[in-house]
Amino acid sequence: MITMPVSDASSLDADPAVLLKSVRPNIVQSIRAYRVEQLQEAAETTGQHFLYANLSEATTKQEVLETIARSFLFPKHFGKNLDALHDCLTDVVHGGGPQPGFVVVLEQLPATQRFDKEARETLLDVFRDAADFWAERGVAFRVFYSFL
């Protein structure tokens, strides 16, 4: 009998809920073989929030934060800085009551002189901190990203 490894996203097409069971519940990772539509369907099937931002037009930290805020429907008072991003991903949402879980996709993070590797890692660290925050509360927070 041949078995497919659980991490092989192509083997998960039949049942979207299986996809999320194959990924640690609180992680920030490259999107790799997963497709955005597949992740969205898995989130919807399991009743989790699906947050998606296409960052292909962003070239600076400010534009990245503005695109995330607009895509994730953050409050108008969002401060457009990394601390405010963390607050919106954690405290603001946590204050809204019990959460079913999150599937976050950051597609095409820029690789520009004004948003370099260090800026990308700092941004992803905010999402890692949010994943830790939700892990402490027993809520799944999975982040998938790709680079432009």
Query: Among the residues of the chain, which ranges form H helices?
Result: 16-21, 36-45, 61-71, 82-89, 91-94, 117-135
Check if the beta carbon of residue 39 is closer than 8 Å to that of residue 103. yes
At residue 13, the pLDDT reads: 55
- Dihedral of alpha carbons 96, 97, 100, 103, sign: positive
CATH superfamily of 9-147: Barstar-like (3.30.370.10)
At residue 97, the pLDDT reads: 80
pTM of the model: 0.88
At residue 137, the pLDDT reads: 94
At residue 14, the pLDDT reads: 57
pLDDT 10s digit of each residue in the chain, 148 long? Answer: 333 334 444 444 557 778 888 899 999 999 998 999 999 999 999 999 999 999 999 999 999 999 999 999 999 889 999 999 999 999 877 777 888 999 999 999 999 999 999 999 999 999 999 999 999 999 999 999 999 8
User: Which is nearest to 55 in space by CA: 45, 66, 44?
Assistant: 66
